[in-house]
Each structure stands twice: as structure tokens, then as C-alpha cells.
Structure 1
Amino acid sequence: MSGKVFLVGSGPGDIGNLTMRAYQLLTQAEVLVYDALVDSQFLELVADTCLKLNVGKRGGQPSMKQEDIDRLLVEHCQQGKKVVRLKSGDPFIFGRTTSEIQTLKAANCDYEVVPGLSSALAAPLFAHIPLTDPVLSRGFTVITAHEPERLNWQVLAQIDTLVILMGGKHLPRIVEELRRQGKSEQTPIAIIRWAGHPEQEIWSSTLDEILSQVTPQRLSPCVIVIGEVVRLRSFL
């Protein structure tokens, strides 16, 4: 009996953002390996007999090492199980899915990647912020600020709209780097915390004021949007 691993994106927040394909797989799963950011609603979709394994993967919280997660997927797949690896957002947007796929391929395990709605796209929408606009934003760039020292801030400061994931605790560094590269202090910024969840919070300000309104250490998980399109929120 051959097993299979499904690398599934849960989308952001509410269960209503789950794709039909993901819903179907969850109801059929024999093993569920899920991240800490995945909403508890999703756990109610799986059968009572399904083995549920929380591997963490939330910033600042205890998490299983990635190589251990990789081996876990292989182990249950080789036992002939239908394994769902459930990730928040989309598996290929900063989801470390490549490592899992490489390990599965090396072990000759069958797998399938199932897309999900990324918070990079959904969070601004929940906050009524369009990422593009004919005048204010001809395009946008999505980055992770997990390692801000590795980013090219000179280039990023020239982009109309920035969408930043995993940047809550690095907000002071983000603001400092953009201002240093000539970004106007009056550039609008919005922070969407727990996007798509009932406890969603939104802060709208400018680069020179935002740090006086929030506590960076308490923003995770959040999506940061920087650019003139943030001003459209009050109209939309």
C-alpha cells in the first residue's frame, strides 16, 4: 500500500478561505501535520481517527526542526498513509516547502502541492487596501523581513508598494532603512495583525508616526503594507 503526502495551503484566517481541494483532502487525511498558525477550525474537519501533529513554525515559539518535519512526512508516507502537511497561506510563499519536497523525492514518496490564498494578497484586501492602482501603484513587491540585513533596501525604497511578511518585530529596522534610502517620512503604512481572523487588528499611519502607535514585539503575525495605496483605505 503506497502513501502520499499533500502539501496544502490553508489560506489566511477563516475556514471560508480554504479551497475546495484542500477541504476534500482534510476530510480524507489519515495524518495531519500542521503549523501553529493554522486556525483550530481546520482541525475539526479531519476524522476522529486522524493523527494530528502540531509542528509549530510560529516566530518566537517552540517549533520542530525542519529536518525533523521532513523525516516525519517520509515516515508516515512510507507507512502507506494519506498525509496532509497543512501550512498557513500558500505553500510556496515563504513556506519552506522546497526542503520537504526534496526529502520526499529522495525517499521516492509520492506528493502533491495544493495552493492556498496567501496573506500577502488577502491581508491588504481585508484591510480595504488595493495593492495596485493606475496612478498610485504600478506594481508591488512581496518580501519577508525575517532577515532584514539581507535585503536590498536601496532598491526596495523605490518600489511603489511593499508587502512585508514576518516583519513585526523588525518594524523599527524597516522604517529606519527605508527613511535612510530616501523614502518620505509621510509615506503611508498599514499593519494588519491576524488578518482574516475574528481578532484582526489594523493600524494605519505614516513612517514617521507608526512606531509611536504600536509595540513591534506584539505585532506577530502581521502583514505590513507600505505605499500611497494605503491612503485609499478610507475611501474603500
Structure 2
Amino acid sequence: MSNDNAPPLYPLFADLRGRTVLVVGGGAVARRKASALLQAGARVVVGAPALEPELRALAQAGRIAHLPGRFQPAWLDDAWLAIAATDDDAVNREVAAAGQARRIWVNVVDDVALSRFQVPARIERGPLQIAISSGGGAPMLARLLRERLEAQLDDSWAALATLLARQRGRIRERWPEPGARRRAFARLLAGPLQGFLRRGRHREAERLLDAELAPGTGNAAATAGSVALVGAGPGDPGLLTLRALRLLNEADVILHDRLVGEGVLALARRDAELVCVGKRAGDHGTTQARIHALMIEHARAGRRVVRLKGGDPFVFGRGGEELEALRAHGVDYEVVPGITAALACAAYAGVPLTHRDHAQSLRLVTAHCAASLDGLDWPALAQERQTLAVYMGVAMLDTLRTRLIRHGRDPATPFALVENGSRPDQRVVVGTLHELPAQAHRHAVRSPALLILGEVAALADTLHWFGDGPLSADSPVHRSTAPQAGTAKPAPAPEPALERAA
């Protein structure tokens, strides 16, 4: 029977606590239905000749009742609802007809025509529930929408719903007029209340709500802004965390690094203000002090600020300095980690950073200028059976090679130089430590690029999976080797470093 002309369903949330619900069928589908009904507090009766193992265990434990045998209309005598979940169409039709005769609501799984109610796709966050229905005609569409909403709604919604339900009486007393109550809720949700719950700071959330509910108080919840330090990952928008995506959709202002890709920025709220605060070599117009000032200025104006950083804020990203500045000025903040370049570039190049046969340790190193190189423990870095992941080292490859070899690293140690890791234009150059600067120059490697040095780098030849295969000394050159900003040169004197954004 076609469902094209069916009227829209009337949505209900049923209180089934202590009420009998019959599930006909003893297989996996019946088990899923019975489990959901038990969570709702229903008294579940399962009718079937035999039960699958989990249902049988529930019956043996006394959590469900079992009616053995083939369906009998008398099974419906005490039921408020019934679900037919068998693979026998004739039995399902019998259940539907018997329910119709007794005015009992029956759902026949995957049969819209026989069903008198539909079980929607559902999202649960504590007492908060969202039900999605296509009227039974397109269940996969409802499931897809549920999956998208699951990604948008974190567990703080459960804590928020619980807190507001607990204070429902006070909320209605404080704002008895519905319009005023709606405006107050909008103000509360736009402020830091949910942010406190998201970070597990429940006492602060309760104190804030108490202050709002006190007679004669103003709009304290709406005046406080906040800053979230968010890791944007290496470039592929698919590598963002769910929390990062949620914050991008909530932000009023996004202060982003130069290397944060357009694909990531496209996920931000459409009316958010985007401000590029990335720094380039020789251009310090946006100083770190200026970035601190912008974060504090926007937060004090009551805005939700996202400080969006390539990679991870706490791995060579100056996240610690920025938190210190925010804390010194009393600005509320949180941190959302991102996938740092070492992890992402290695994964997208097919290079395991550790390996039982080749590397038992990993060192993350920054090499953006001569001063940073002078502070490194070169004898330790030159040890075998470890992996070095070198950030911001494109302009210092000759110096890196010279010092590592001088302190005992084998010139034949493999390397993988990953340019634009995880992005569509990713390139991987491979070779040995001795030929590192020459190879980078030959293939005109440019920043951003991450150097992976160690025995594991040799695996890029066989384990690569993303983009084109690695480039070696025998590979043809497809990019001009004319000098460009950020391109490695095999000159002995170090050139000015290209700073990583932020």
C-alpha cells in the first residue's frame, strides 16, 4: 500500500512506566525493541516460540515475561501497546488485526500499512529527547538526520535539561509571563551557563542560574563572553573533532591562523566574524600581544570567541601563552585539542611513528630558527631506534642534517618530508638523511611541511594510501625549483624561518 497520501502523524511521548507492552517475536529486532521499552519503564511481555540468547537471559532474570508459542489474540488483553517484530508476514498481520479489534496501538516493524503508530529515530540527552519521523516512508532519511544531530548535541544538553527541570518551579515564579520566560531562556542559553556544564563545572552553573533567578537581578548571564582555544587539525575538515565543529557553529568571532584551510572555515556559523591573525616570515603585523588583546576585547564585549589554530593548540601552538593571558584578565576559557601535524602527516603518508621493530620512542621537535636549534639536545636526538617529528623545519634542513650526522645519526637514516599533510595537494618526499636538503630543494618543498626522520620513514614507500606515491631522487620534478618563500635550499647558511601561523 502506498504511503504517498497518508496524513501527517501526530507526535506523542508516551509514559509507559508500569504499563504492559507486548512484543511479538523472539529475534534480534524484538530484542532491540524490548530493550528500548525496558529503558522507558514498561512491563515488557515477549511472545514467541523461542527467544534469542539475550532475550532468554532477560526472561530468566525476571526482567521480561515470556509467552511461549505462536501468537494468540488473548496476549493483547492487558497490553497498552504492541509491536510485531517477526519475520512472518502472516503473524504480523494477525497482530495488527487483533490490535485493531481491541483498539490497541500496534507497530509492525518495517510495514507502514499495517502499523498504527511509528517508532521514531530518537536522540537522548538525559531527560531531553528528540524524535524524528518520516511517517514510516523513509526511515533511512530519519536515521541520517539523527546521526547529524547526534554530532551537534553533546552531553551538556543532558545536564542542562536536568538543571532546568530541577529549577522549573523557580523559573516559572521568576518569569510568570511566557514571553518573558522565552526571552530569559534565550539569554541563558546564549551565555556561559551551558559552557560551565560542558566543562564539568556544575557548581558554577548552578550559582549562575541562582543569580539569574534571584528577584531584581539583571542580565548577568548575557554579559560574560568566553574564549575557546580550538585545534583545527592539519587541514582536512573531516579531522575536526565534534566539539570543535560545535564551537565553530556557536562562535560570534573566529580568530584563525593563516594555515587554517577554507574547508574548515566554511564549517563556521555563517554570520560569525572571521579574523585572520596568522603571522608570516618578516611580517609581524599581528603580534602575539595583539592576538591576546583581540581575544580579551571580544570576550569582554560578551562574544563567544573561537581562537582557531592549525594542528593542536598545545603542540608548538602558543596555547599556553594565550591561556595565561586570558586567565590574567579573568576571561573564561576552554581548550579543544586538535590532531597535531605529526600524527596527521604521518598517518596520511603511511608512516607509523612507532613500530616494534624500528622505533620505541617519538620526539616532537620545533626547528623554526637557529635559536630554537641551539636549545636542542643533539646527542639525544641522534640516537637510533627513535622517530623525530620536526615542525617548522623547512628552512633549516641543511643545519638539521649537519648537526644530526655530527652527533652520530647514521647518514642513511630514512626520512619522509610531508608537505600539506592531509590536504588534496599533499606531497611526500622520501630519501636518506644525507640527501635531505638536496631532495627538498629538488622537489621545491614549501611550508607547511613536517619532517619525519627515523627507520619508520622507509615504510612510506610501501604503506602510502593517500594521494600520489612518495617522491624520491628518481622521481621527475613537477614543480619549479626557482627560489620561493618557504622553499628549502641546500645552502649552508640558514635562511630566515617561515613561522607557523600563531
Q: TM-score, normalised by structure 2?
A: 0.46
Distance 1:214 1:234 in 2: 17
Q: Distance in 2 between matches of 1:58 and 1:24?
A: 29
Partner of 1:229: 456
Determine if contact 1:132/1:138 at 8 Å carries over to the other structure: yes
Question: Larger % of strand: which?
Answer: 1
What is the rounded CA distance, in whole Å, between the counterparts of 1:166 and 1:141 in structure 2? 14
Structure with the greater relative contact order (CA < 8 A, sep ≥ 6): 1 or 2?
1
Confirm or deny: 8 A CA contact 2:397 2:436 kept in the other structure: no
In the aligned structure 1, how far is the partner of 2:396 from the partner of 2:367? 7
Q: What residue number does 1:182 align with?
A: 408
Structure 1: any 5+ residue segments left out of the alignment? Answer: none
Residue identity matched to 1:149: D
| Cα shift at 1:48 | 3.2
Task: Write the letter of the residue equivalent to 2:440.
Answer: V
1:78, CA displacement in angstroms? 0.3
Q: Where does residue 373 of structure 2 map in the other structure?
A: 148
Where 1:213 maps in the other structure, the secondary structure is helix
Q: Aligned with 2:440: secondary structure? A: coil
Give the structure-1-normalised TM-score. Answer: 0.95
Q: Distance in 2 between matches of 1:79 and 1:142?
A: 38
**Any gaps of 5 or more consecutive residues in structure 2?**
1-222, 464-502
Deviation at 1:140, TM superposition (A): 1.0
Q: Secondary structure of 1:47's match? A: coil
Contact 2:313 / 2:319 at 8 angstroms: preserved in 1? yes
Tell me which residue corresponds to 1:76: 298
Q: 1:202 aligns with which of 413, 421, 428?
A: 428
- In 2, Cα distance between the equivalents of 1:62 and 1:92? 21
May I ask how many residue pairs the two structures share in their alignment?
236
1:65-104 paired onto structure 2 within 5 Å = 65-104=287-326
1:78-123 residue CA offsets vs partner (Å, 9 max, x unmatched):
0000000000001100111112111111111100001111011111
Distance 1:63 1:86, change over 3 A: farther
> What is the alpha-carbon distance in structure 1 between the residues aligned to residue 404 and residue 325 of structure 2?
38
Taking structure 1 as reference, are residues 214 and 61 closer, same or farther at Cα in structure 2, changes over 3 Å only? farther
Larger radius of gyration: 2
Q: Name which of 157, 165, 168 aligns with 2:394.
A: 168
| One-letter amino acid of the structure 2 residue matched with residue 207 of structure 1 | L
Residue 25 (structure 1) shift? 0.5
CA contact (8 A) 1:56 1:63 kept: no
* Percent identity for Structure 1 against Structure 2: 40
| 1:122 to 1:25, Cα distance in 2 relative to 1, 3 A | same
Contact 2:235 2:264 in 1 (8 A): no
1:26-65 to 2 correspondences below 5 Å? 26-59=248-281, 62-65=284-287
Give, in angstroms, the shift of residue 196 of structure 1.
0.8
1:37–1:61 Cα change, 3 Å: farther
CA distance in 1, matches of 2:436, 2:361: 23
Distance change >3 Å, CA 60–CA 135, structure 1 → 2: farther
- Confirm or deny: 8 A CA contact 2:257 2:309 kept in the other structure: yes
Q: 2:439 aligns with which of 201, 213, 224?
A: 213
The structure with the largest helix share of the pair is 2
Task: For residue 215 of structure 1, report the CA deviation from its aligned partner.
Answer: 2.2
Provide the rounded CA distance (Å) in 1 between the counterparts of 2:354 and 2:407. 23
